[in-house]
Structure 1
Amino acid sequence: MNKNRGVTSLEIVISLALIVLFLTLIFPILRLTLKMERSFIIRERVERNSARLIEMLEREIVDSSFGNEIYEGKENLIDGKGVYQLVGIRPTILDKKFFSNMKERGNALFLEIPYVKKEKIYSRYYFYRFNGNMFMISQCSNQGGRIFFESEDIVFENIDGYFEQDKDGIKIVINIKKNINYIKELKGYALKGRKM
C-alpha cells in the first residue's frame, strides 16, 4: 500500500462543490447583513441630525423678535414669529393676507431674526416648512415692505412634523419615518424669545 497517496480529482471536485455550496448560502446572508447595517447607520444619522435640527430651530425661535424694518402683515406676528398651515404650493410673496392667517398648529413657521451690522439693526427672514415627506428652509427678503422668497432648500427627506404655538412658546414635533410601521417622534420646545 502506498502511504504517499495524492489527492484525487474526485476529491478536488467534491471539495470545490462544497465550497461553492457554502458560498452560495453565505453570500445572501452577508448581503442582507450589510444592507441592514447601512439602513441602521442611515437611520441613526437621520435621528442625530433631526435632534440637531430641533436644537437649531429652538435657538432661532429664541433669537427671533421684531427688528426695525417695516413690512405688510408684521402686526399679525407675535415677537417676529408665526405658525401657519400651508397646503399646496407656497406663495411667492408673504403679504398681509398670508400673515393674518396665523394658526396655533401648522406645518410652517415664519421667523424674523434681527442682527446688528455697523451699529444698525437689520433683519433676516426664514420660513421653515414640513411639506410631504420633506423639511424645507426658505430664506426671504424684505423688498419695499413685502416679504419675498429668495431660495428654498430641502434639508431632510422621510420626515414629517408640525409647529404648535401656545402662550409660552413654540413646540416643534418631528416624526422620522423609519419604515411603514414605525415612526420615531422627537420634540423640542422654545420659549417665545426676547423682545427688543
Structure 2
Amino acid sequence: MMQTNDQSTSGGGCCYGRSKKSAKASAVNVQKKTNVDRQDIFGSSSQQKIIEAKVVLLGDSGVGKSSIAQRYCKNLFSESHDVTIGGAYLQQIVTLQDGNQVKLHIWDTGGSERFRSMVSLYYREAAAAIICYDISDDKSFTSVHFWINEMINNNDKEEFVMALAGNKCDVEESQRKITRGMSESLSQKHNMIQAETSAKTGEGVQELFKQIAERIVKLKK
C-alpha cells in the first residue's frame, strides 16, 4: 500500500514490504490464507466461533497503508520501511461490546502503478476495504475514486463494507489539503465509513477497525 516510502504520517511506514519473489508466492496463497475452514467470508467458524472477514487496504503509494496495518495489529510505527510489493498479511481479533468476535484477515496492498495488476488479486472475497489517502496530498484524494471503482468492479461479493481513511492527521493544519467536509461528502455518496487517522500517534486507528467489524456483523445479520 505505498510509494518507495509508504508514509502514514509525517513520518514513514513500517518494515514489512516484500521482495518480488515473495510477492509472487504471496499472491498464489491469497485464497489459502483468507478462506479459513472454507467458510463464507461473512460466516462464522464452527471451530473458532468467531466471524472471519477479509479486509484489504487500498490507496496510492505513500499514503501510509502499511503503517496503519502495523499500528493496528502490532501497535508499532517506524520511520523506515520497504515498499510493499503485491501484498502483506496480518490478522487481528476484535471483540465488540455485544460479545461478537470478528477475526480480521488484513491484506496490505502495494499502491504503486507497476504493481496494480497484482493488487487486483487481493480484492476477491473481501468483506471490507479501507481506501486510504494522505490529507496533505490532494492527488492521493483524487485517486480515491479509482480505488473505489476498483473495489466495486473486482470484488465478487454483492455486499461489502468500504471505509475512507484520511491518514497523517497529525500534520500541521497548514499542511492539510483535504478538508473534513470533502471527505465526508465523498464517504456519504458511497455509504462509506469516514475516518481520519494517524499511524504515527495511533489516533483514530483502533476506532476505524472497530467500526468496520461492527458493520461486517450487521451485514452478516
TM-score (norm 1): 0.24
Q: Which structure shows the bigger proportion of residues in helix conformation?
A: 2
TM-score (norm 2): 0.22
Q: Which structure shows the bigger proportion of residues in strand conformation?
A: 1
Which of structures 1 and 2 has the larger relative contact order (alpha carbons within 8 angstroms, sep 6+)?
Answer: 2
